Structure 1
Amino acid sequence: MRPRDGEVLHFSEDPTIARFVPHVAPTSSEAGAYVWAVGPDRAPDYWFPRQCPRAMAWVVDGTSDRDRDRIVGAGCGVRVHAVEYAWLDRIRSTRLYAYRLPAAPFQPIGAESQALVATEPVEPLGPPDPVGDLFAHHAEAGIQLRVLDNLWPFWDQVVGSTLGFSGIRLRNAKRRPAAP
């Protein structure tokens, strides 16, 4: 589930949104009111229930062979998403929808961010598309989906590596394990 040319996507568990109005997201470090969306490269970051904590890593220019093999896995593609066991049933049962929005009003926010924002209301191009089987989307895209007891040890390895990475809803993850 990725946007077509001239589109961006907004993923939601609510299939009844008729108009997206800029708002200040309670979890955002940005103070402005925005409509949030993603392009094709970051759409897989949202193939999860909204509140699901996930840690994601992918190969970028400059990723060392050692980091790729150590974190993504030798011969395992270029991208890995990690979730906690406690979220598996919700990933299986969540009904997720993709709203196709016109790309024109959206601009990248920040130099490093892949998120796209609009500062004006945006209407979907049509009814939302049911995303379907979230596990199947990962498999079809060649993205490893790793299931862990706790995300924090994986996350600590990722942020100290040469891989690209993103963590979403990490505040919903289990507590960080105590240091030995």
Structure 2
Amino acid sequence: MRPAAGQVLHFSEDPSITTFAPHVAATAQQPEAYVWGLDAVQAPAYWFPRDCPRVLAWPGPETSAEDSRRLGDERVHAIEYAWLPALQSVRLWAYRFDAGAFEPFGTPYPHAMVATTTVTPLGPAEPVGDLLALHEAAGIQLRLVANLWAFMDEVAGSSLRFSGIRLRNAAARK
């Protein structure tokens, strides 16, 4: 599930939210209050249960041919085996918003869209559906690993673009 042109998405396990007000998340690394959204490129990073730790990697223009071959020239999302039942059973919902209220967030490459005013969804929350099927249909390889840290260290030491999300919930580093 991705937003249509001119829209951003917000994923949630709560289908009953009617308005989204800017707030500072408990885990925020910045003091500003935002409503967080995702464009079509970043949406797949949130096709997971909220608290699921994950490492995402993909080739960018600066990626070496050798590093790109490590991924099979595709985007890879990795989670721990322990999180597979949650991935298969979570009921995830998507809220659609007009992108006009949002601006890109993150440097050097934006990783989210943010609004600084209260926003109302364009309609009711939509069920996201089967998260494994979404990954497959998008051509994103989903890797199951015993521990995320080896993969995180591998991609962080490469020329690949990558992101680690909710890593505080990952198994301890071995």
What is the TM-score with the length of structure 2 in the denominator? 0.97
C-alpha distance in 2 between matches for 1:13 and 1:110: 24
Kindly state the Cα deviation for residue 110 of structure 1 after the two structures are TM-superposed.
Answer: 3.2
Cα distance in structure 1, aligned partners of 2:135 and 2:97 = 22
Amino acid at match of 2:104: P
> What is the aligned partner in structure 1 of residue 2 from structure 2?
2
Given candidates 43, 61, 76, the residue that maps to 1:80 is 76
Q: AA paired with 1:163?
A: L
**Partner deviation per Cα, 1:122-177 (whole Å, 9 max, x = no partner):** 00000111000000000000000000000000000001111111111011000000
2:92 to 96, 115, 120: 96
Shift of 1:114: 1.8
Is 1:169 aligned with 2:166?
Answer: yes
The aligned length equals: 173
- 1:22-75: CA deviation from partner (whole Å, max 9, x where unpaired): 0001112011110000100000000000000000000100211111122x13xx
| Residue 27 (structure 1) aligned with residue 27 (structure 2) | yes
Specify the code of the residue in structure 2 equivalent to 1:117.
V
Report the more deviating stretch, 143-152 or 106-115.
106-115
1:48 aligns with 2:48: yes
User: 1:151, 1:135 → 2: CA distance?
Assistant: 18
Q: What is the correspondence of 1:83-162 to structure 2 with a 5 Å cutoff? A: 83-112=79-108, 113-162=110-159
- List, as ranges, runs of 4+ consecutive aligned residues in structure 1 with deviation greater than 3 Å: none
Match of 1:38 in 2: 38
How far apart are the structure 2 equivalents of 1:28 and 1:163? 25
Q: Distance in 1 between matches of 2:86 and 2:97?
A: 26
Secondary structure of residue in 2 paired with 1:126: coil
SS at match of 2:77: strand
Separation (CA, whole Å) in 2 of partners of 1:64 and 1:94: 36
**% identical equivalent positions:** 58
RMSD across aligned positions (CA):
0.8
Note the residue ranges of structure 1 that are not aligned, 5 or more in a row. Answer: none
Structure 1 residue 7, shift from structure 2 partner:
0.4
